[in-house]
Structure 1
């Protein structure tokens, strides 16, 4: 067989397998059912060709295998386009966007150089994560990029929407949790032992609040806040971010935050409806780490896993940052993302009687619980509100961690300190983690 033909055959077969592999990943990311095994083109054994004893027969067999390889590549290309079309029908993802993780920073750099030629916009990329958030206008060109450069990709996934969690209707019976609903009607400081003079709690500690943005409020007067708007839609701010910030660092005498001397990095990753996406959360994490955050509070979540978000969380943790995330309010037996990730301080909500809140998600890996029913906080337009959610529980926990760090605890000690001092309730760890947050 001619050398060029053998080379072409080999490259065709490899391209086929890589294309089908990338397609399989995309199918796994966008469906609930397990990915069905795909037929793979088996290269023709050289021994079999030799045994034919006929050079022309061997040549014919090679050409047939080559044709099969090319046909499989074409089928994968068509299937990629179909999967992209299916993906855009999902209500839980950002349409016409993908999150791409590359095998190396060099592969990412090469993609950056060629993306514009295919009408692919790079919304965000970070060489440390070897990842890019892209928006495409032409599904056929996006599929061609994925096929033609499949060897450069380590992961192809959708950009899941991330939300400020709402509250479901209180159920009459809920097998997943204890169903607590008694309100605190305060900011819950007594339960976690945040009492006495807290005027210096949080001093020297930067806490990033990845949320809907922080607006001016009387309870935040004197709190140092640095603003960064990733959404940048020029719309009004949802009040959720202001509420979370007040629970961390608010200075209201009656219902202030846990650690009022904390410095806040306000990172807006969700819009006026409380909606963002996992790529913006990942970008916000990297921005916060670069600016010295030692605690990152994420009181929102997504239903789907994202390699970009997972890698950003791991990056932050590897640099000594404590990442705190809300478990979610869906009454589900699984934690939201990023609360699900290893190393994250995932937080469930309890009511004033110490029972798991009726809305609070349960799940393996849940770290701790904190007050989250009937919590008083600041809000936009100068308002003060009473709200409930694992969002509030997470923010209170972030404030407590800021207080501990200002008392000379080290970030690597925080998980053990929280676990050792948590108040056990007798409920399963899947419902309340190690117990209810309590400061030493």
Structure 2
């Protein structure tokens, strides 16, 4: 380890980026032979960025396994940007599968091995239909509409079931190129079965049904919708399809990504996908889950996601809504009226419905203010309305479109950055250095600018052909290690970010930059919010 050094005062250094969904040459994404929807017979192997393609590593793993075990390994899919391969084990006994997972985990480039878990749309059975629409009034959208009805230049990506983009109340707000179907592997995200596949259309309408068009209902604002169909007719989808859709949306330049889905535990593949999207400037809004008071589900529980709980029409927490410390905002979720696949309208309930309310408000806010995703996140939480619930139930409060649009960011009522810090000031320190191989690491210390900062964000940008990881500790007075740390970000590449809310300032912040594999220059940035 090199001698500990303090961060110097330097200008902000722009981080590097990755792009592109890749697929094996003989196995394209969602090609014939790879079943749509859940893929419970597949393993996802996260592969370190070491300058070699995912396909090359996957084929080497296949050869090793087939030589040692009497099994067939099918290479089903690969994603270069998120650095994972999906492999299917055929004719493997449970014992062999356990051994294979351990062996793959020991492969030189493997970062993780996990099942291709299944997620599902987060809604509950229909409640009786309201005669009128209440969600947009509850979040004061009409006040915002006095300033703006929205901006077609703002894009909201709906990662969900298919969207009926020719619905008469959606057709004017869906992009000319409406999206991609990751379930069937084609360029048309239209529902396969209109009678069964209603969730995506309902979610899209809550966020962005046409406002002031003399037809049906209003969405929160006139943002442009793109659809990533990642859930099948039954409302379920695989981790890999959803992760690919999130990465695709970020690469399409989505300002907001709506994830009205969840149900699986934490997976590295999904974590990497939301990190990729957030690092590329998208605000990722996710449903807390419908576990009737259970813990916040994934992906909402990831720090990169803005987690949303659901409210009943009277402003109380909906009985079905999950809650916990990860909640940042609440929104109406019960009996929300929106577009339906029969070209009409219907009311359903769930945190799935609360989430696009927040996504729609985020889009409407971007029509009024030019904000980064971090600034937007802070502004939405700073302008939320306290409805008398605990912080674990409402976060900063109920999202409020009127406040978000009419309050200047950084004015004292609206946040100017960070994860809901609501402060008006921040300080950024950046340094650059190099690591020379897998044995190398740098430890840095950071002296606090503020007596009581609300949030500190540590960002690492390294070479695309290496895998650098980020570790941090506050309040310990010592450098973290790869096995002892308070916070960690370790995707399969070198773009890492750690957010610490209410950090312990009794000692300096300590940050470790470690080379898992590869070498090259890196930029380390610490942003502290008052």
User: Normalization by structure 1: what TM-score?
Assistant: 0.71
Q: How does 1:213-232 map to 2 (within 5 A)?
A: 213-215=162-164, 216-225=166-175, 226-232=178-184
Shift of 1:126: 2.1
Match of residue 383, structure 1, among 341, 344, 351: 344
Partner of 1:325, secondary structure, is strand
Structure of greater Rg: 1
Task: State the partner residue of 2:49.
Answer: 104
Query: Which structure 2 segments of 5+ residues have no match?
Result: 1-36, 67-71, 186-190, 404-530
Label 1:124 to 1:332 Cα distance change in 2 as closer, same or farther (>3 A): farther
Label 1:297 to 1:211 Cα distance change in 2 as closer, same or farther (>3 A): same
Shift of 1:147: 1.8
Shift of 1:107: 7.3
Per-residue CA distance 1:284-336 (angstroms, 9 max, x = gap): 01111111111100111123111000011011111111000111111133111
Task: State the partner residue of 2:159.
Answer: 210
Return the alpha-carbon distance in structure 2 between the equivalents of residues 425 and 236 of structure 1.
39
Q: How does 1:214-293 map to 2 (within 5 A)?
A: 214-215=163-164, 216-225=166-175, 226-232=178-184, 235-237=192-194, 238-251=197-210, 253=214, 255-260=217-222, 262-293=223-254
Return the alpha-carbon distance in structure 2 between the equivalents of residues 397 and 376 of structure 1.
15
Shift of 1:146: 5.2
Shift of 1:240: 0.7
Partner of 1:280, secondary structure, is helix
Partner of 1:270, secondary structure, is coil
Contact 1:93–1:158, Cα closer than 8 Å, also in 2: no
Contact 2:129–2:347, Cα closer than 8 Å, also in 1: no
The alignment status of 1:369 with 2:330, answered yes or no, reads: yes
Per-residue CA distance 1:237-292 (angstroms, 9 max, x = gap): 511111111111112645211112x1211100001111112211110011111111
Task: State the partner residue of 1:305.
Answer: 266
Shift of 1:346: 0.8
The alignment status of 1:417 with 2:376, answered yes or no, reads: no
Q: Which moved more, 1:141-150 or 1:191-200?
A: 141-150
Shift of 1:159: 1.5
Label 1:198 to 1:297 Cα distance change in 2 as closer, same or farther (>3 A): farther
Task: State the partner residue of 1:201.
Answer: 150
Q: How many residues are matched? A: 338
Return the alpha-carbon distance in structure 1 between the equivalents of residues 305 and 119 of structure 2.
17
Query: Which structure 1 segments of 5+ residues have no match?
Result: 1-91, 171-180
Partner of 2:135, secondary structure, is coil
Contact 2:157–2:225, Cα closer than 8 Å, also in 1: yes
Label 1:160 to 1:184 Cα distance change in 2 as closer, same or farther (>3 A): farther
Contact 1:198–1:259, Cα closer than 8 Å, also in 2: no
Label 1:202 to 1:389 Cα distance change in 2 as closer, same or farther (>3 A): farther
Return the alpha-carbon distance in structure 2 between the equivalents of residues 422 and 184 of structure 1.
27
Task: State the partner residue of 2:293.
Answer: 332
Q: Which moved more, 1:235-244 or 1:391-400?
A: 235-244
Structure showing the higher strand proportion among its residues: 2
Contact 2:55–2:85, Cα closer than 8 Å, also in 1: no
Q: How does 1:165-184 map to 2 (within 5 A)?
A: 165-167=122-124
Contact 1:183–1:351, Cα closer than 8 Å, also in 2: no
Q: How does 1:142-157 map to 2 (within 5 A)?
A: 143-144=99-100, 147=103, 150-157=107-114
Per-residue CA distance 1:144-202 (angstroms, 9 max, x = gap): 585275333221111211111242799xxxxxxxxxx9979415111111104576403
Q: How does 1:391-410 map to 2 (within 5 A)?
A: 391-410=352-371
Task: State the partner residue of 1:188.
Answer: 135
Contact 1:115–1:121, Cα closer than 8 Å, also in 2: no
User: Normalization by structure 2: what TM-score?
Assistant: 0.59
Shift of 1:397: 0.7
Q: Which moved more, 1:338-347 or 1:142-151?
A: 142-151
